[in-house]
Structure 1
Amino acid sequence: MNKNILKLAIPNIISNLSVPLLGVVDTALVGHLDQVYYLGALAVGGMIFNFLFWGFGFLRMGTTGLTAQEYGGRNRQGMMMILARVQLIAWSMGLLIILLQSPIALFSLWVIDSSSEVANFTKVYFDIRIYTAPAVLALYGLNGWFLGMQNAKYPMIVTIVHNLLNIVLNIFFIQVLDMHVDGVAYGTLISTYLALGLAVYLYVKRYKRYLSHFIRTELFNPDELKRYFSVNRDIFIRTLCLIFTFSFFTAMSAKQGDLVLAANTILLQLWMVASYGIDGFAYAAESLVGKYKGRRDQEGLRKAVYYNLGWGLVLGMIGTIAYGVFGDAILRIFTNNAEVIELAKVVLFWTVMAPLVSSFCYILDGVFIGATETGPMRNTMLAATFLFFLPAYYIGTELILIHGLWLAMLLFMIVRGAALMFYLPGRILNKIP
């Protein structure tokens, strides 16, 4: 079991860590520009696209679980039709986002109470990056399908190439052409479409034979569509809550001024680095739990759950130790602004605790996605967001100021993990007939 887990998890960890690496490089590039509002604009612009694109995260997550179950049941037609449906949805939604770009931008900038400089440069960033929408969503679907097929190598290749291209282009646009957030946006736009082209090439290279199992009349099969949207409805609600929480965090940081926004943006990048690393094992859990559920292998499913939880806990502990020992040095990689560094050090403790505390909810998300038991994910996320995160923020900020925002975020992670552990025996471990 450990061999199977590591075969899936290691490529996922490598590819996942390249995602926050991009954020680290972008933050460091913009953080060393002469004005702090560039960093604020990058944070707010990133938040807007997180809200847009993470909301369609079900195109990746739901596709992995459903495909893995068809893979376990050796149903080639089922595997192919899932990919066809997700691509149809991805391109339709991507083009719709582009058509609605003006109202999306106006509403987003109205909601976020930032300074005029931050708002102006956020709009510059938004107007360029919005055109990545179809490619981003199509990549979600393709990478999710690859993972469901127990192939973590292809998503790793695509993600690493994507982010390395993005980094090189961003450095070129900012350092050579003397651009700012517009350079970051152009780098993202170009690299995303190149990555999509690579993903299509890899699909054709290995899975071209599956095209013979495409049946046009099955594309809109009512039962299959109902199954697909039932799973993805819950994931969509769960993801919206997650996006709301991180967006609220960024918006409240912006409300407290550009300095607080800059410091919290850097610390949030460290949260992302830890989450993407641990998510390597969460993705492995998705693939393996889905496969064993498709095979009706109860013992294999239980081992996949317990072993992935163990690996996630170990990686979370390593992250906590690393942030505790090297936190001050890491902050200086992101910015040379003394005020930002001093403020970030004041609340660094919460980031040190994050990898260990959050590891349970990350892995359990993967378990429930793989089993397509998405109802508990929806319920626990709603509870964690509205019954714990928001009250903790409003009470905490009154009592401990900036620490209240970070306390709310940590409590949000703890509640998610604890609630999913409560559901685990009845909905996953003892349910396969």
Structure 2
Amino acid sequence: MTVPAAPPARALLALSASAFVVLAAEPLYLLVDTAVVGHLGPHALAGLGVGAALMALLTIVGTFVEYGTTSRAARWYGAGRVDAAIGEGVQASWLAAVIGLAVVAAGEMFAGPLTSLLAGSHSTQQAAESWFRIAVLGMPGVLLVLAGNGWMRGVQRTREPVWIVVTANALSAIGSPLLVYPAGLGLQGSAIANVGAQAVAAALFLRALGKAATGVRPNRTVMRAQVLVGRDLILRSAAFQVAFLTAAAVASRMGTAQIAAHQIGLQLWEFTALLLDSFAIAAQSLVGAALGASDAAAARVMAWQVSRWGLYAGVAFGAVFAAGRVLIPRVFTSSPEVLAQTHILWPWFVAMLPAAGIVFALDGVLIGAGDVGFLRTITIVAAVGAFAPLNLAALHWKWGIGGVWAGLAAFIVVRLVGMVLRTRGDKWAVTGVTA
């Protein structure tokens, strides 16, 4: 089967728009959740911050079922093998289910020690553990959704992920305030709503996969190849999480107001990062398809085109958040102490967004090309050599929450320099289908 080529700019916009909506749905729900929980008080918000950081840590074990699946499926799609591309989604879903159940068991076993390690006070630890024990039950659903998004992006199916993810998260956004307040479940109600959304989305993705696939049996050869790609992606994601967990632990030890402000800033950062990542996801699919079709020149053109779009988007988001410096934090908290700490981190948050737009775009280019070994290395260097040391220095020398966010800025700059230099060379643009 020959796959018709779409005009690059048109294909980029279509995939970016789809990814934008899908990526926005989850963080929009988390922002709603943060706002709902924030009005329970600083301790509940701090507990949510610690619990959410742990959930993000556990999610790294399934990173490859999304990004690795997209790049592998896109190469098959570019080579005209749509059946093999969808088969990647089948095997990724098997891996997601197995890994998700293992993560649930590990999370329940170590919930107490893990939350104690990150929380700065007993009240924060109790809140974090109560939220986390419920939220971790949704991990199989989380990973199945990642796998579903991965194969659909690889074959450039842009509509289905949008309505699946938006429907599930809309239900959860409605359910969270109802469970937290009228139902009287408090912080635990937020976790229940979260798990419900993940279960609904996973079921809908599995239904779509069952209709598209020619077979649904496990294939060890394909799964083994996915795991090999996943090894470097997991190490890359682990570097992210070590740095961000260090930041959460440092902010928590600075005080309740600092960790609460950090949670607000981090949710806004992750929301913006995922929206900027819509260009990266489009690049994964289009670069992978171009290299699968043995067209390295098209892949290079796409790399710099998506970088420009990422820069423009980063500048636009920076302008919006700069203008909303006073009003936006008030959506999430009414505490004067938390607001004061939020205003300290805000300039760092705004200043790094243009550079982040380029970084996320090139992330997508190199993942789509399968150059995950380089991404692993540059991310570890940035996390271990810049982000984590600056966070620890901020605690030791009492730089405050601004020092923590200076570490995040350094993390972005180191990756920017490394990825621009890599993309200017030829080593990443390897053509042909990955077996």
Task: Give the TM-score taking structure 2 as reference length.
Answer: 0.93
Q: Is the 8 A contact 1:396 1:407 kept in 2?
A: no
Change (3 A) 1:431 1:144: closer
Q: Pairwise mapping of residues 309-328 of structure 1 onto structure 2 (< 5 A)?
A: 309-328=307-326
Q: Pairwise mapping of residues 153-172 of structure 1 onto structure 2 (< 5 A)?
A: 153-172=159-178
Change (3 A) 1:373 1:123: same
Question: Where does structure 1 lack aligned partners over 5 or more consecutive residues?
Answer: none
Matched, 1:130 2:131: no
Matched, 1:329 2:335: no
> Equivalent residue for 1:14?
21
Matched, 1:219 2:195: no
CA drift of 1:302 comes to 1.5
Q: Pairwise mapping of residues 83-162 of structure 1 onto structure 2 (< 5 A)?
A: 83-162=89-168
Counterpart of 2:33 (choices 26, 29, 33) is 26
Moved more, 393-402 or 191-200: 393-402
Q: Which amino acid aligns with 1:211?
A: T
Q: Is the 8 A contact 2:387 2:407 kept in 1?
A: yes
> Equivalent residue for 2:284?
286
> Equivalent residue for 2:204?
198
Moved more, 284-293 or 387-396: 387-396
CA drift of 1:400 comes to 3.4
Q: Which amino acid aligns with 1:166?
A: S
Q: Pairwise mapping of residues 208-357 of structure 1 onto structure 2 (< 5 A)?
A: 210-212=213-215, 216=217, 219-221=219-221, 224-357=222-355
Q: Which amino acid aligns with 1:415?
A: V
Q: Secondary structure at the match of 1:372?
A: coil
CA drift of 1:114 comes to 2.2
Matched, 1:175 2:175: no
Q: Secondary structure at the match of 1:334?
A: coil
Q: Is the 8 A contact 1:371 1:428 kept in 2?
A: no
Matched, 1:74 2:72: no
> Equivalent residue for 1:3?
10
> Equivalent residue for 2:378?
380
How far apart, in 1, do the equivalents of 2:237 and 2:169 lie? 23
How far apart, in 2, do the equivalents of 1:346 and 1:99 lie? 39
More helix by share: 1
CA drift of 1:361 comes to 1.5
CA drift of 1:354 comes to 2.6
> Equivalent residue for 2:4?
none
How far apart, in 1, do the equivalents of 2:83 and 2:159 lie? 23
How far apart, in 2, do the equivalents of 1:6 and 1:334 lie? 32
CA drift of 1:179 comes to 2.2
How far apart, in 1, do the equivalents of 2:327 and 2:116 lie? 36
Q: Which amino acid aligns with 1:252?
A: V
Question: Where does structure 2 lack aligned partners over 5 or more consecutive residues?
Answer: 1-7
Task: Give the TM-score taking structure 1 as reference length.
Answer: 0.93
How far apart, in 2, do the equivalents of 1:312 and 1:233 lie? 27
Q: Which amino acid aligns with 2:33?
A: D
Identity %: 25
Which runs of structure 1 show a deviation greater than 6 angstroms over 4 or more consecutive aligned residues? Answer: none
Counterpart of 1:47 (choices 53, 73, 83) is 53
CA drift of 1:172 comes to 1.2
CA drift of 1:417 comes to 1.7
1:55-79: per-residue Cα shift (whole Å, max 9, x none)?
3211101000000001111224422
